Amino acid sequence: MGLALDEARAALTTDDVPIGAVVLDPSGAVIGRGRNTREVEGDPTGHAEVVAIRRAAQAVGEWRLTGCTLVVTLEPCTMCAGAIVLSRLERLVFGAYDAKAGAVGSLWDVVRDRRLNHRPEVLAGVRADESAALLDSFFRNARTVDD
């Protein structure tokens, strides 16, 4: 989670929401890193999870990330939860829950939906306070600037 938090902090340099992610291969080696890039790239799919999953798939040379773990600082949204299922990640580890858009238990539970063909293991709340503090600070500062 420390590496994902580092990615989240790096997103601040481009005024993106500070969310970070890493993909680990079965041995624990980092094969993909990502941070939110929606602002800097003008890409609505530039979520940390999607960026990290794309880089991991490039690293392994295929779309199936069997045996891999995604670590992300915030509970994934529906788009990212779908990408997690479709990429066949074995495990999802996330920090803070997202009461407004979370799709791994908060609003929906896409990754554990029994109607889907793949359901990764989920470990939630890892270093959640640190993840939430980064987001709270970002949005508090954003509101101050907008006022």
Answer for the pair 73, 48: CB distance below 8 angstroms, yes or no.
Answer: yes
At residue 26, φ and ψ (nearest 5 deg) are -60, -25
Separation of CA 112 from chain center: 16
Distances (CA, A) of 126 to 46, 65, 90: 23, 22, 17
Distances (CA, A) of 92 to 83, 132, 143, 145: 12, 18, 31, 34
Tell me 125's DSSP state: -
62 is an active site residue? no
Which of 7, 49, 62, 90 is the catalytic position? 49
Amino acid in the structure at residue 99: A
Give me the active site residues, please.
49
